[in-house]
Structure 1
Amino acid sequence: MADMSPIDLQKALKGAEYPASRDDLVSVARNNGAGDQVVDKLEHSGTQRFDGPNDVQKAVFGNG
């Protein structure tokens, strides 16, 4: 399976409202038809609350 890209994450979280809890973002991703890899990365991000998309990117990809 190919690695998940930031674009995959953005597509999965389309329509998400911030600030958001991890559980809220997992629900949005599932509703948007995200793949298991995206959902798993969100579920195991170690962050409970996200103030915006940049927070999600940092938690999932560890950059920034």
Structure 2
Amino acid sequence: MHTTSIVQAPSLTLASGVAIPDSKMVREVTELVRDTENSLLFNHSSRVYYFAAASGKRKGLT
């Protein structure tokens, strides 16, 4: 039987209580987007994540 464990990566927590994950995958995707897209798209995507995470936290989904 194969089991998969999830390792909790360290994260940064904003004042809103939203945690920004810090894992190898997150860092690689961030680097990819920053290298291939303009800052407008990166910043927009970041705001969408923060807003959705804060909304989910407020609704008790996290």
The structure with more radius of gyration: 2
Fold conserved (TM > 0.5)?
A: no
TM-score (norm 2): 0.29
TM-score (norm 1): 0.28
